Structures are given as structure tokens and as C-alpha cells.
């Protein structure tokens, strides 16, 4: 089988999900091209070596430029903090490598535009890791919408609720905590969590025309883990916005890390003229579906256990009733990327498609700052 | 409007639910005959007087024979402890009164047979208060079954779980506690809770041919509240049985007062060739319905919020989405009884129909005692 | 027992809920004063007569002024469409009657201010029927908040979703449809549904400082049922807003009649530092509660079946596990009103408290019109 | 790292789950010994070759004796149909190999006893794949029970409901259908599904003293896929039993393939004096927990999302809120087996522990045949 050599940047949480996906995808999917874990890069050589050993990378390096310059590498996969995305992605594209990048693409839409320009100019395959599109239940929602089951859409609702930063003792920045450091992350929950909800929304319900947003930083200063200094917190702890979609439907979006009791509760709901859909990440293998065309007396929300062979991706896994979990979304994404390479139809979201999300998050942050409605930049 | 004078025996929990039903039914249902709260009877004159005053009975007495002998009374409603049912019901029937009786009819099937003989000989209208048939969601289940939506039935499952007698400090017998006194109640959870599950099962799934049962008394002795003496507990604390229905389906039934966390969790499930149904008393306004004939990818359990105008009884209440509760089942039962008087089709369950449940509970207790399968006596 | 003569204006949905509450409250609650259904008023004499007969009013009239002028009437209860509230309430107050009024108080805050001025000048008892405060689960939420269980609050979320106006064939205005007629209703879902969510929010989480809103009318013109003419629809079909509470927490609110699959889905969620609460009207007898102080490995959302004797109001009803429904909230409200009369502590929400909700709905409509944040007028 | 060479027999559903477990366990767990996919065996050489290629086995064979005789193999893993278990396991043990075996161990307790004797005589490590013990939520239940959180246990309830054999067109026997062929499978749902529920029950609640069972074969004859002949069906389609545990608690168990709407609904519930637990396989990442010692007004069933670092096995996976699925239970089982090799404490269930389940299933089948209570053979 044809193979494709992967050079991974980043050994954190996302480094693990990506490695697992590249490693196991061929056991479950019939691929035109099989990924090979070639080289991993981390700033700490020790960490890189240990990671390579655990996951079976052939080698490790401590500078991403070594990867970009290595002729043996076909694809650079960026799983490092947000402030590194643009530089690496652009260099990789210039070196003619395919590029995958964790979301959000850049810290700002401007950074993302530069990334998009680079990959398009280089003509290299690219994909952003908005993994939730590949939850089978979410993909099923997309199929139902594309089939016209919902009819005209009136409402789109999404939330991404967490509670892990409520303690004022939690430091900002440093190992495992860069998501609280605005200079690294770009923003707080807007880029981290809202970005996921926006990507799915654009995919399922089309473009967003304008937004009115508010953001809040509940804990105003925190100790920085690296410097030890107590400094102002510059990220948004919570972010919510009203939206008008191009198709005339209304949207409400919210993300926070201060919703006690919710670990990673990404929920979405779409209300159409004929049917409605609800999904949530805490029970990701289920889709709630209401079809008004059912006979009245037995009409109700259907709890679909999305584990049948006819459900998206599920013919590759176990038997009906046996659920898969979070990491499988990354495996599906790799499978689709490889298929896209072979059939010439790039798997979505490409970087250009991911840029659309950054235009919305930019508008959200501007609207919150200016206290007014803000049009979302089109492409 | 034509009226019907009610004489109620018993001022406890069931006295309240019945009084409320007689009192408010005409506000919601169009009745051919309107019940009037005429006289209430309790052993304690003070209690009877207070109850009459609260609920608007015209008078009160402290001996049930006064009610039976009172020519102004049209209907005797028995809501007193189980050991009084037979004597009162038989006397009432002989006096030519209509009779309603709380479940179970008698403490044993033999007592119930005598009651049935009396009302049938007297030719008086009669009904047993198996109120759960009139939960709109349960009535909807009956409609779906009668319409043939389920196809051949394979399984019937029911449980009635409570946890209020776990403490060994709880006395047996006396005010509010006669359900723990075998001489008064006849049996423990078998007659109290299993009887409900059996009545519904017979109604929804036809007769039960044979059973294999086990019962247990977890707390072997308790203080009697009236005598103060610690005495052996003679009721069954828990009771479970396997069943074969006449239609070939298999049944499992269980009741207990030792299921920590459950207050009054009566659940039932029916699995048919084409469709299945689940209901539970803790969310009594919902019916779970699965229809295998739905398109595969969107097949799932439908959670039906049984509050629409087209749902049983619900056109008499509020608007869709607004739920009713427990006491409404009694109101529905009175409405149906009154309608049955007018159109000559007695509302079910008549005493004869209620006797069928006693034949099953008798078989359950005998099977548990004899450790063998036991055929259920037919009629 | 002391009695209080009620004169009811309106025989629709709310006329029924109020009548039922006045009629049955004394069967369940020990009251210092017992309401008597004295006279009912409807524009149609036939309708008034029929309603009086069904519910047991002593008499009926077809002009509300007759009620106001009748010395036998102690309390005027307004359950007629919104455009009649101010005139009747003010006249009733001037006549020295106690006044109860369906929500929203007036069609605008200006109307409500006039109503408040009238009752305060007259010194008469008054209460607005924001009935959801008296759902036992919601009252329990209030108790937990007042006890400090939640700690600092970060988020408040509420939605009221319906789907009954999606068909473009539905007329606006006329019998049972005045809620779609802006001249009668004042606004669409903002005054009808959002008002409920706001009242509860103010009660549970304190005042709202400012809002940013959007409204939408999905179906632009409908036939008017009375005139037969197709005319522009002037109500808002959907309304959503972002809010900042005075206590620093963030709010998101939404109401619509275009959310397919939801009949009357009023949901609320509060996230505090230590604990969070979720409630929804479709299973109104349950409260979801998360307490972060629970031991970590067994921490989870608790589904509380609010039917125990120690739960608010529930010692007056049945036994644990047996749920009550929608109409009981009105019964509780009457019980509290009567108690308030006796002990001199007026039951909430008084008209002045209800006015606070109108200030918010006014701000919502203005913000939506002006596309900017709008401060909420204080009192 | 020390390695251990695995020889796998069987390329079906279980061959895949085992291979995946051996392959990926070291990516997530720190192991003393790392399994290596050495050789796979299937009757069809083509199938074995293809499977080896997909999963990365070094070689493949078409006769299990080759595996047993191969000195390079350390461990024989049996994932072939039930009728092959005894012969292979005994030969493997005699050859001094470690043995893992899919459940049930043998087709009868007699077969299982021979297997146990062989591994014990040979002194080789062994484990049966009762994988559901390693669902983190189920392991958490075990921890809570071992910590004494439940107090005295009154009830144990388990069901395993499927619906995939309802069609009478489904053949018995042949590729993928050997579970319907009694000569291969040994029994129907009793050995296939009930065995799982019994293994967990013995682990969580101790030994079962006696049972009263019923079984049923709904579809009496089916075409055999290999012979093409219509023949009597000899497996049990459904099986249910009442049980008395040695600790005095009562059990109810049921399994069927005729429960329309359920794909693989394994549920269990335990009611103790102080606390109760519910789990179900369709949402396997959640545990329902009720603790009576919680303050009364906020007492409720806690829905624990078992995805925190302090939950069993979960520190090896992702972050809180992100669920794992079915295949992870096999990975956990391999991790524990490897750990057991190193520390000399064999991971459970050993073959001897698995034999206890076979004693129960034997008693169930005998009780159903003889229509009487049957004592379970002790060890």
C-alpha cells in the first residue's frame, strides 16, 4: 500500500489524539494511502523521544524546522499551541508539504489568511482538525439536513460549557495551561470552544451574516506559571453571541469555562419547519431527532443510538449498540483526508473553510469590544 | 343535571384521591350524571367530621352500616383498609347500592369471589380503583396495542419499586401503617404493588397462564404500633415472578419496598414484533415508543410528551406541553364510570375483571411458598 | 371560615386555571381566608353563563364594570387579554378591590406603571400570576439559592420554546388567537413567553442591568380571523437576548414559537461557583442539581424527584413519587396570596415586582429595534 | 521493554477487538510486558492472511495446532466459536502457553471444568474475556461496593436485551451466525448474554445460591445457512431467572434477542441499604448513583459522567467529559493481565472464576427444563 510520512509537531493532548488516529486508521478503514508515523517534534528532546517511543515514531526532533526541511516527510501535522500555527504552516507549505493544523487555524483571522494564502499558493493538501464534524451522530445530522429533512430552518443553538477554570488558584500559562495565556492562545473560550460550535454551524446551517456578542473575564488576575507573577488575565472566560444566518435563521451561541457541572458539554440544536435535531458531546453517540411528519399521537423526540451499520462510519467499527468515543472522530478525519487525496476531492474543512470560522470569532470579539452588531467578513 | 350521591368509607390517602375526583370531575368532563359528595364515614367521628368539612360532604358518620342503610346514598365507595372491603362491598350490593372499591378487591381471591358474586347477584354497577389504567400515557399504550401496532408480543416487563420500609425502626400496623400488617392488608407488596402491575398487564397483554415466584421478608420482626409488641413480620417485603402469558409472551414482574432511591417507580415495558413501549410512573406524562418500521438511520425510542389534545383525556385539560399528575387518573376513572352508567357499557375494571388480578396474586404467593410453577386459575 | 368573594374576568385558558385554583385550594391547604367563586364576567353572556355553571360561580355578567361596581366582590381577578388589563385593574383598584392579574401586567411598562400606581394609591392587595415561581422544583431552587448553596453566580440561561405557529395557515387574532395580534397582546413571544423567564430570573438571580436583543417575525403576513383580511404580522415570533445581571453574572434568554418539537419547553439553568441547577417545564416535577462539593468520583447531576414531604408545597399533596402537574402552580399561588393577606406579608410577585419584568421586556424590544445594548430601567 | 508473543485464534468480531487491544494498549498504559501480534489463525488461509495484513501480525496459519506447537508463541488467545474453546485451551495449556479465552469458557460447565483443570495443572496464566468488568463505570461500581458504600444489599437486577433475531428469515448457523447453532454455541442467550450479566453479578454481589428459570424459543425452525435445510432451532431465544444470592439479596435476570428497540442493552442495578447503582451499556460512560445519606431535599439519582482522571482507567485517556467506548474495555483487560503477570496477582476473571458463571448458566438451563428451583453448584 502507498504510504505517507507524517511529521508531527506537538506532544500534548492533541499530539496524542492525532498520533492515535494516524496509527490505527488503517486497522479499520480501507485506505488508498496509509499514514506512517515518521518523526515527532517537541521543544524538549526528552519529551519528544519518550513520545516517539510510546507511539512508534521512527525518530524525534526538537525543532520544527528540521521536520519542514526533511525530504522524507510528506505531511506536517501541527498540534502545538496556537501561536506557532502560522509560522509552521506557512513554512511547511513553502516546503511543499501537505499540512494539517489544529484549530483554530491562527490566533486571528489575519494569521489564518496568511496560512490559507500559503497553502493555496503552494497547492498543497490541507485540513483543519475540527474533529466534531466526524462524530457519527453529527455527520448523520449533516446527511439529514442535506437530504432536506428539516425544511426551512428557523433556529440554531449551540453551547460549549466547561468548568475547569473556576478556581482562582489556577495559574495562567505554562505547561498544559497555555489556553489561559492570551499571547499564546489568541483568545479564551472564543477561539478554543466557540470556534468548534461555529465550525459545525457553518457546516450544517451555512454562513453567519452578523453577530452581537458579549465576553467576560470573571477572574481578573492570575499567577503566571512560568514567571510566577500575578498578572491581568487577558483571555475571555465566557463568550456569548446572537447571530443572524444568511438563510434567515437565528442563532444563539455560548461558551464558558465557568459552568459548574459541565466538563465538555458541547450541545447543538437545529429547528426546522419539519424536523429538529439535538446533539450533545457528553453522549456523543446519540442524536435526538423530532419529525413533525410522524403521526400525531406517537410523535416524540427520537433518541437515535448512532451505532448501526447504516450510520456514518459505523460499518467500520463494532456491532449495533456498542458505542465509540471521542478519539474516533480524529480517526475518521484521517480516513477522509486520505480518501480525499486519492479522489481529488479535498476533505473538509480545508484551511479556507476553517478561515470562515475565524472571521466569525473575529467579529464576535470585535462586537463584544464595541458593544454593537458586527457584520461577519465574507470570503 | 342528574346527580348521584356518594357515600365514602375511609378518610386516608385514598379517601382524599377519591373525594378530589368526585368533586372536580364535572369541572373538566361533560358528564351524564354528576357525583355529589353526600356522606363520609370514618371510625373516628372527629376525623369524619373534619374530612367532611374540608371536602364538602354534606354529612359524616362513624359506622359504614349507616351509609349502606341510607336511602339517600346511591353509591358506596370503599377506600378503607383491605380487611374491610368484602364485608362492606357485600352489604352495599345487597342494599342495592352501586359499589366502587379500592384495590385489591379482597385480601384473597376467595374474598374477592364473594364480592363479585354479591354485586353480580344484585346487578349493581361496580368498579375497582386500578387507577393507573387511566394515566393518559398508559391509555395511549392500550390504544396502540388494540390498533395492532406492536404485532406479536414477545415480552412484558413490570416493576413497582419503593424504599420506604428499609428502616428497621418503622413499626408495623396502626394509623397509616396497616399496609405492613398482614392481617389487615392480606399480603405485603404482592397485593399492594404487584397487583397494580398485574392489572395493567392483563389489560394490555391478556391473561397469565402460569407463574414462578419468590417472596422475601427482609426485616423479620417489627414493633406493632398499636400493641407496642415486637412481633414477626408476616407480609412479603419483596415479591418477584416469572410468567407465561396465554399469548405466548414471557413476563417478569417485581415489587419491593427495599429498592433504595425509588419512591413509587412503577415501570412497564412491552416488546412486540414491530414496536415496543415503555412507561414509568415517575414521569407518568411520557410514553417511550419504538417503531421498527421507521426508516433505519433515524430509528430511535420516541419520548412522547402525552399532553396533546389528541391524546387520551388530554383534550379536557390544559394545552400541549403542560402536564397533569397523579390525581387525574382518579378523575378520569370517575368520568368513565359515569359515562358507563349512561351508555350501559360498564367502565373497566369491574370487580370481575379485578378478580383476575387476585387469581394471579394468589398464584404468586402459592408459588413462592411451594417453590414451584403454579397455574393461574381461570374464570 | 372567613371568605373572600372573587370576581373573575375572562373565561379562556387562564379563566379555567384560576377558577380551578380558587375552587380546590381549600381542599389541600389550611387557609386563613377561603376564596368563593362569586361572579364571572365574559363579553358573551352565553359563555359567561356556561362557565359559571361548570365552575360553580354564583352568577355571571357580561361587562367587567358590573364586577367592579358590585359591593359583594372582594377581589377582581383579571384573566382577559392583555389589552384589557390596565383599564380593569385601575378601575378595580379605585373601587377598593383587591386585584390579581394575569401576566404580563400591561402591554408596555408604561401601562404597568399606571396599574402599579393605582393599586399602591388605593392600598389594595395585588398579585401577578407568574405561576412558575410556584412549581415546587422552582421554589426549591429559590430555597437553595437563598441558602447560599450556589455561591457566586456566573451564568443564567433560560429558554421558552414552542412550535404552534409554524404553519402559515394559522390566522392572527380572534378567539383563542389574540396572542398573535399585536394590538391586543402588546408583543409576541417577548411579553408572552420571555416575560415568564425574566420573572423567574429576577426572582432567582436579581436584577438585570442591560440587554442586547434580536427579534424576528418569520411569517410576515397572516389572515386576521375576525376581519378575514391578510395583514402584516406585527408581533415578534422569536426573541433572544444577552444580559448582564447586577450581580455580575451573564444571561442568555430566548423565546420562540418556531422551535419544532417543543410544546412549552421553558428551561432554566443557573451556574454558581459551588453548585448548579437546571429545571424544565416538560418534566416540571424534577430539579437537576449538581454540587461540586460532593466527593469527586461520585459527583454528578442529581435528578431530584421533587415529590417528598419536605419539598415546597408537597406535604399538601400525595405521597413521595406521585407527581403533580401544571395547574397546581396556580393553587399554590392562591394559597400564598391568602396567607399573605392574613400575615401582612404580601405574596410575591406584587404588581410592583411584576413591573420589573416589563422594564426588561421593554428594553429587549428597544434593543432589538435599535440594534444596540440597552440599559434596563430601575425602580 | 519485555515482550510477549500473541497467537490469536479467530478473525471474527472478537478477533478484531482482541487485536486492537493488544496493538494499542502500550500507547496508553505503562506496561511491564508489551504484547506483540505474532501469528493469527483462521480456518481460511485467505482470511487469515488478510487479517494478519490489516492488523500487523507477523504471520498467519490455518490450523490452531500450529500455533500451539510454535515455540515463539507465549500466549494463545482464543476468539473462535464456543465449540473450539476446550480443545484449544487444553492443548495450549499442555504446551505451556498462557491462555486467554472468549466467554463463555466452555459450552457447558463440564467443558469449562476440563479447561480449568488443564491450566491449573500446567500452571499457566489465564483469563476469560468478560470485558464488561473493565467499563470504567462498572469498575467504579465495584470500588463503591468494596468501600461499603451500599451497605446491606437487597436487590440485584440485570438484563441483556437485543432484537436482531426477530425475523424468521434469519438463518441459523454459518459465517457470523454460529451463535444460533446450538451445537456450536452450546446454548442461546443464556451462554451468550446472560453469562455476561452473571459474571458481573458474581463479581459485584457474590455467589448465587439457587435459581428458578424459564427459557423460550420463539421461532421453532430456521433454515441452516450451510446445509440449506430447515431444521428445529435448539437454542434458547430468551432466558430469565429469579435468583437468591448467598448474601441474602434477591436477583432477577433476563436476556433475549426479541426485545424490539434494544441493540445491546445490558443494564444492571443494585439496591443497598444506603445507596443504589444503575448502569447500562448503551451509555456505558455513565453511572447512576443514589446516596440516601445526601440531604433529603436535594437527594436524587446522580448521573456520573465517568470520564474524570480519578475514575478507573480514565487517567490514561483524554480529558474530563470526553468519553471512551466499547473497545476500550478489552484494552483495559489486556493492561490488567500484563500487570498481573508482573506482580504475580492474576487479573480476574481467571478461568476458575469464569467457571462460576458456567455453574450458574448450567443451573439456569436445568431449572428451565425441570420447572423447579435449582441449586447452583459451588466450587
Q: Encode chain B (379 residues) as per-residue pLDDT tens digits.
A: 799 999 999 999 999 999 999 999 999 999 999 999 999 999 999 999 999 999 999 999 999 999 999 999 999 999 999 999 999 999 999 999 999 999 999 999 999 999 999 999 999 999 999 999 999 999 999 999 999 999 999 999 999 999 999 999 999 987 779 999 999 999 999 999 999 999 999 999 999 999 999 999 999 999 988 888 999 999 999 999 999 999 999 999 999 999 999 999 999 999 999 999 999 999 999 999 999 999 999 999 999 999 999 999 999 999 999 999 999 999 999 999 999 999 999 999 999 999 999 999 999 999 999 999 999 998 6
Tell which residue, C155, C114, C158, has the closest CA to residue C132: C158
Residue D175 has pLDDT above 80, yes or no: no
Q: Return the pLDDT at C379.
A: 66
Residue among C24, C282, C318 whose CB faces B326 most closely = C318
In a mutational test of the D interface, the residue from C298, C303, C312, C313 whose CB has the highest number of chain D CBs within 10 Å is C298
Residue among C55, C286, C321 whose CB faces B27 most closely = C55
Residue among D154, D166, D238 whose CB faces B218 most closely = D154
Chain A residues within 8 angstroms (CB to CB) of chain D: 13, 17, 19-20, 23-24, 26-27, 54-55, 162, 164, 262-265, 281-286, 305, 307-308, 317-328
Residues of A in contact with D26 (CB under 8 A): 54
* Per-residue buried b or exposed e for D48-87, using 16+ beta carbons within 10 Å of the residue's own CB: bbebbebbebebbbeebeebbebeebbbbbbbbbbbbbbe
Residues of B in contact with A285 (CB under 8 A): none
Q: Return the pLDDT at D173.
A: 83
Nearest CA in chain A to B321: A300
Mind telling me how many Å the CA of A239 is from chain D's nearest CA?
A: 20
Rounded to a whole number, what is the distance in angstroms from the first to the last CA of chain B?
Answer: 38
Residues B243, B245, B250, B256, CA torsion sign: negative
Task: Return the partners of chain A (3 or more C-beta pairs < 8 Å).
Answer: B, C, D
Place of cell 459485584: D204
d(CA C264, CA D325): 35
Nearest CA in chain B to C23: B24
Chain C residues within 8 angstroms (CB to CB) of chain D: 140, 143-144, 287, 289, 291, 294, 296-305, 308, 310-311
d(CA B66, CA C173): 57
Residue A377 half-sphere exposure, CB side, CA atoms within 13 Å?
15
The set of cell numbers assigned to C97 is 378591590
Residue among C140, C299, C311 whose CB faces D304 most closely = C299
Cβ distance D291 to C311 less than 8 Å, yes or no, reads no
Residue D379 has pLDDT above 80, yes or no: no
Residue among A298, A300, A310 whose CB faces B297 most closely = A310
d(CA C139, CA C144): 9
CB D268 within 8 A of CB D249: no
Nearest CA in chain B to C327: B324
Place of cell 397487583: B195
**How many whole angstroms from its chain centre is CA A116?**
17
In a mutational test of the C interface, the residue from A151, A165, A167, A212 whose CB has the highest number of chain C CBs within 10 Å is A212
User: What pairs with residue D36 in β-bridges?
Assistant: D5
- Taking CA atoms, A297 is separated from B144, B320, D45, D55, in Å, by 10, 12, 55, 50
Nearest CA in chain A to C263: A300
Q: B368: which residues sit within 8 A by CB, 6+ positions away? A: B213, B214, B215, B236, B239, B241
d(CA A132, CA D306): 20
d(CA C214, CA C371): 8
Mind telling me how many Å the CA of B213 is from chain D's nearest CA?
A: 8
Cβ distance A371 to C373 less than 8 Å, yes or no, reads yes
B215-265 pLDDT, tens digit per residue, is 999 999 999 888 889 999 999 999 999 999 999 999 999 999 999 999 999
d(CA D283, CA D269): 14
Residue among A283, A284, A322 whose CB faces D326 most closely = A322
Longest Cα–Cα distance of chain D, Å, equals 66
Nearest CA in chain D to A30: D54
Cβ distance B214 to D212 less than 8 Å, yes or no, reads yes
Of A140-149, A284-293, C166-175, C256-265, the poorest mean pLDDT is in C166-175
Q: C123: which residues sit within 8 A by CB, 6+ positions away? A: none
Residues of C in contact with D302 (CB under 8 A): 294, 298-302
Q: Return the pLDDT at B112.
A: 98
d(CA D147, CA D326): 26
Nearest CA in chain A to C244: A214
Section C289-304 average pLDDT: 98
Residues of D in contact with B154 (CB under 8 A): 166, 218, 238, 256, 258-260
Cβ distance B238 to D272 less than 8 Å, yes or no, reads no
Q: Is the ipTM of this complex over 0.90?
A: yes
Task: Return the partners of chain C (3 or more C-beta pairs < 8 Å).
Answer: A, B, D
In a mutational test of the B interface, the residue from A300, A305, A310, A313 whose CB has the highest number of chain B CBs within 10 Å is A300
Cβ distance B214 to D244 less than 8 Å, yes or no, reads yes
Nearest CA in chain C to A167: C273
Residue A150 half-sphere exposure, CB side, CA atoms within 13 Å?
26
DSSP character at residue B372: B
User: What pairs with residue B301 in β-bridges?
Assistant: A303
Chain C residues within 8 angstroms (CB to CB) of chain B: 13, 17, 19-20, 23-24, 26-27, 54-56, 162, 164, 262-265, 281-286, 305, 307-308, 317-328
Q: Return the pLDDT at B376.
A: 98
Cβ distance A321 to D283 less than 8 Å, yes or no, reads no
3-class DSSP assignment, residue B377: coil
Q: Return the pLDDT at B122.
A: 98
Cβ distance B263 to C305 less than 8 Å, yes or no, reads yes
In a mutational test of the B interface, the residue from A288, A297, A308, A314 whose CB has the highest number of chain B CBs within 10 Å is A297
B92-142 pLDDT, tens digit per residue, is 999 999 999 999 999 999 999 999 999 999 999 999 999 999 999 999 999
CB C368 within 8 A of CB C212: no
Mind telling me how many Å the CA of C104 is from chain B's nearest CA?
A: 19
Amino acid at each position: 500500500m502507498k504510504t505517507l510520512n507524517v511529521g508531527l509537531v506537538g506532544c500534548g493532548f492533541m499530539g496524542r489524539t492525532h498520533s492515535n488516529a494516524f496509527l490505527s486508521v488503517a486497522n479499520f478503514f480501507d485506505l488508498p494511502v496509509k499514514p506512517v508515523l515518521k518523526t515527532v517534534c517537541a521543544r524538549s528532546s526528552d519529551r519528544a523521544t519518550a513520545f516517539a517511543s510510546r507511539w512508534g515514531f521512527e525518530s524525534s526532533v526538537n525543532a520544527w524546522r528540521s521536520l519542514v526541511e526533511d525530504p522524507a516527510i510528506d505531511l506536517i501535522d501541527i498540534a502545538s499551541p496556537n501561536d506557532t500555527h502560522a509560522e509552521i504552516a506557512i513554512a511547511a507549505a513553502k516546503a511543499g508539504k501537505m499540512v494539517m493544523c489544529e484549530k483554530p487555524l491562527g490566533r486571528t483571522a489575519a494569521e489564518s489568511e496568511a496560512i490559507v494564502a500559503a497553502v493555496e499558493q503552494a497547492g498543497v493538501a490541507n485540513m483543519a482538525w475540527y474533529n466534531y464534524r466526524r462524530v457519527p451522530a453529527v455527520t448523520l445530522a449533516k446527511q439529514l439536513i442535506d437530504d432536506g429533512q428539516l425544511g426551512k430552518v428557523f433556529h440554531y443553538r449551540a453551547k460549549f460549557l466547561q468548568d475547569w477554570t473556576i478556581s482562582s488558584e489556577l495559574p495562567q500559562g505554562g505547561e498544559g495551561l497555555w489556553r489561559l495565556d492570551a499571547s499564546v492562545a489568541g483568545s479564551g473560550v472564543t477561539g478554543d470552544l466557540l470556534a468548534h460550535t461555529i465550525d459545525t454551524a457553518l457546516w450544517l446551517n451555512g454562513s453567519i451574516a452578523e453577530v452581537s456578542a458579549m465576553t467576560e473575564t470573571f477572574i481578573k488576575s492570575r499567577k503566571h506559571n512560568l514567571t510566577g507573577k500575578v498578572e491581568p488575565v487577558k483571555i475571555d472566560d465566557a463568550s456569548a453571541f446572537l447571530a443572524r444566518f444568511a438563510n434567515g435563521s437565528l442563532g444563539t451561541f455560548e461558551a464558558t469555562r465557568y459552568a459548574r457541572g459541565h466538563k465538555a458539554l458541547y450541545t447543538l440544536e437545529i429547528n426546522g419547519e419539519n424536523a429538529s435535531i439535538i446533539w450533545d458531546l457528553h453522549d456523543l453517540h446519540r442524536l435526538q431527532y423530532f419529525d413533525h411528519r410522524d403521526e400525531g399521537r406517537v410523535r416524540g423526540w427520537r433518541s437515535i443510538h448512532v451505532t448501526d451499520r447504516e450510520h456514518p462510519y459505523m460499518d467500520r467499527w463494532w456491532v449495533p449498540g456498542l458505542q465509540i468515543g471521542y478519539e474516533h472522530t480524529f480517526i475518521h478525519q484521517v480516513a477522509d483526508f486520505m480518501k480525499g487525496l486519492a479522489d481529488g476531492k479535498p476533505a473538509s474543512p480545508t484551511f479556507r473553510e476553517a478561515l470562515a470560522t475565524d472571521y466569525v470569532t473575529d467579529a464576535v470579539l470585535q462586537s463584544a469590544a464595541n458593544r454593537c452588531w458586527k457584520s461577519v467578513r465574507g470570503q
